Structure 1
Amino acid sequence: MKSASFFALASALLPAVSAHYRWTSLVADGAVTTAYEYVRQNTNYNSPVTDVTSTDLRCNTGGLASGASTQTDTVTAGSTVGLALDQAIYHDGVVNIYMAKAPSGTDISSWDGSGSVWFKVHEVTAVTDGGSSISFPSVGMSQVTFTLPTDIPDGQYFIRAEDIALHVAQSYGGAQFYISCAQVNVQGGGSGTPGPLVAIPGVYTGYEPGILIDIYYPTPANYTQPGPAVWSG
């Protein structure tokens, strides 16, 4: 376990200007779109969000202000969508994908995603084997995709990708949230009721066992994915 502890310490001491990965592109039907064409560009560039009580947790720093310069892509219920990164995920951690529907009469480009409107549609969690090891399948992924539920109601939505890096999460505020929001218009959907609905911020306290956790020593016997259950229709 010494090598794992050393890795955790070394990660914590990396310079702040280190080039972290960013969610930059929408993935629709297997095609990766141009960077920030349909994804709101943030001003956080190479750094994650660590304050789970901040509105920056919603679409990253500056992400709520860039809607007007972001296009909205039309996608079909039942199709494969997701977000891609500018480089592969390299921090140990997990991924959650949330969506939120803009209120009727409100264009997604001018909406801020406030209120209890978010629901989880996909997750990539950690794998444990009873306490002797833990692995993170999201490491090495350059995109995360999922199938839009066929009965999701038509309308304009955010698709929010969230990678929670856990390499220095052994103290409160150590978990790092890498976040971006894409804008889509869903067509061909149904009359489902997505949920449970949560607010962002508000969905996390920062004390969840899947957020405040030492993944190196002692090795966790299990891992609990933070956030609500996945809605699959």
Structure 2
Amino acid sequence: MPSLRSSLLGIAAALTGVSAHYNFESLVVNGQATGPYEYVRRTTNSNSPIEDVQSQNMICNQGGLDANIRAATSTRTVQAGDELGFLVNVDLGHPGPLAVYLSRAPDGVSAQDYLGDGEWFKIYALTSREIRPNVGIDWASFPNSVGIRNFTFTLPPQTPPGDYLLRAEHLAIHGAGNFGGAQFYMGCAQLTIENDNYDGSIPGPTVRFPGAYTGYEPGILVNIYWPPLTSYEAPGPLTWPNRCEDHTANLVGQQSDGDCTPLGS
């Protein structure tokens, strides 16, 4: 009878060889999906991941900074506190955490013209659904080894008004046991955020892309198969403003159970 270790290593080999690539293609606003690449910048890499964390492609994926792609992408006006989300063109076909970042364009620069070379802050994190002894992690974006095809979250009510890039990022770690094996899938939506009740809050902590990751973080350089993981720390800053993460995906068309589980609970 095969051992648990050999079974897990066999699964690892199978997952590494599967082509399960995907893009974030549509923005969701208050439960309504917009058209594919209407507000999300199109990519030019045939759904392939970015593996070099020092690449400019870490900002908005390959092609996401091209002038013609930016010009072809509309900017959606939303309100701070709205429910936002993304549709995926297929499904998030690999295990790993999900994160959403925001970056405000400088004054006088539109979201369409913004190259994402400023400061980014994380507003949402979706990590483990369950961690089971001798089995490992059941990922909230990949429950029971089936990837989700959409997700939603709340745009923080404290968000300063302005033009922004909204960046969804899924980190696939099925092959991350060696440096450079982690796969980053990301997409950027163009937003104008209005907030008539802005209270002066300053988002943070902030990072830049590239630069947010070295590739050596324990959440990026990690073997998820053997021995089974008993804990996991997602890379990047804590979420603003609540310093928490989600453990169940909020799906389009279903009532949300909330975005936030305080760390350590």
Question: Normalising by structure 1, what TM-score?
Answer: 0.94
Quote the residue 2:172 is aligned against. 165
Is contact 1:77-1:152 (8 Å) kept?
A: yes
Is this contact kept in 2: 1:175–1:212, CA < 8 A? Answer: yes
Which of these residues, 195, 216, 222, is aligned with residue 225 of structure 2? Answer: 216
Deviation at 1:221, TM superposition (A): 1.8
Pairs aligned (count): 229
Distance of 2:60 and 2:134 partners within structure 1? 34
CA distance, structure 2, for counterparts of residue 132 and residue 43 of structure 1: 37
Which stretch of the first structure deviates more once superposed, 32-41 or 2-11?
2-11
After superposition, give the CA deviation of every residue in 1:144-200 in whole Å (9 maximum; x if it has no partner): 221111111111111100000011000001011011000011012512211111001
Give a deviation string over 1:91-130, Cα, whole Å, max 9, x none.
1111010010000000111111113x10000011124246
In the alignment, which residue of structure 1 is the partner of 2:121? Answer: 119
CA–CA distance in structure 1, aligned partners of residues 114 and 44 of structure 2 = 18
Distance in 1 (CA, whole Å) between partners of 2:77 and 2:204 is: 22
2:148 corresponds to which residue?
141
- Could you tell me how far apart the structure 1 residues matched to 2:44 and 2:236 are? 25
8 Å CA contact 1:128–1:223 kept in 2: the answer is: no
1:77-96 to 2 correspondences below 5 Å: 77-96=80-99
RMSD: 1.4
Aligned: 1:9 with 2:13: yes
TM-superposition CA deviations, 1:31-58 (whole Å, max 9, x none): 1110000000010122100000001011
**Superposition pairs of residues 31-50 of structure 1, within 5 angstroms:** 31-50=32-51
| Residue 154 of structure 1: aligned partner | 161
Change (3 A) 1:55 1:186: same
1:24 counterpart residue number: 25
Are 2:54 and 1:53 aligned? yes
CA contact under 8 A between 1:42 and 1:61: conserved in structure 2?
Answer: yes
Amino acid paired to 1:150: P
Aligned to 1:110: 113
Please state whether the residue corresponding to 1:59 is helix, strand or coil. Answer: coil
Query: What CA distance in whole angstroms lies between the structure 2 residues aligned with 1:221 and 1:7?
Result: 18
Give the Cα–Cα distance (whole angstroms) in 2 for the partners of residues 95 and 81 of structure 1. 15
Q: Which runs of 4+ in 1 moved over 6 A?
A: none
Contact kept in structure 2, 1:39 and 1:183, CA below 8 Å = yes
Aligned-partner Cα distance in 1 for 2:237–2:62? 23
What CA distance in whole angstroms lies between the structure 1 residues aligned with 2:46 and 2:65?
Answer: 14
Tell me how far 1:10 sits from its aligned partner: 2.3
The residue identity in structure 1 corresponding to 2:165 is: F
Give yes or no for contact 1:96–1:162 (8 Å, CA) kept in 2. yes
Structure 2 gaps, min length 5: 243-265
- Residue identity opposite 1:22 in structure 2: N
User: Does the CA contact (< 8 Å) of 1:168 and 1:175 recur in 2?
Assistant: yes
Tell me the SS of whatever aligns to 1:178: strand
Q: Take 1:122 and 1:131, find their aligned partners in 2: how far apart are those partners?
A: 29
Q: 1:204 aligns with which of 213, 233, 242?
A: 213
Structure 1, gaps ≥5 residues long: none
Maintained 8 Å contact 1:19/1:46? no
Change (3 A) 1:131 1:100: farther
CA contact (8 A) 2:136 2:224 kept: no
Alpha-carbon distance between aligned partners in 2 of 1:100 and 1:46, rounded to the nearest angstrom: 23
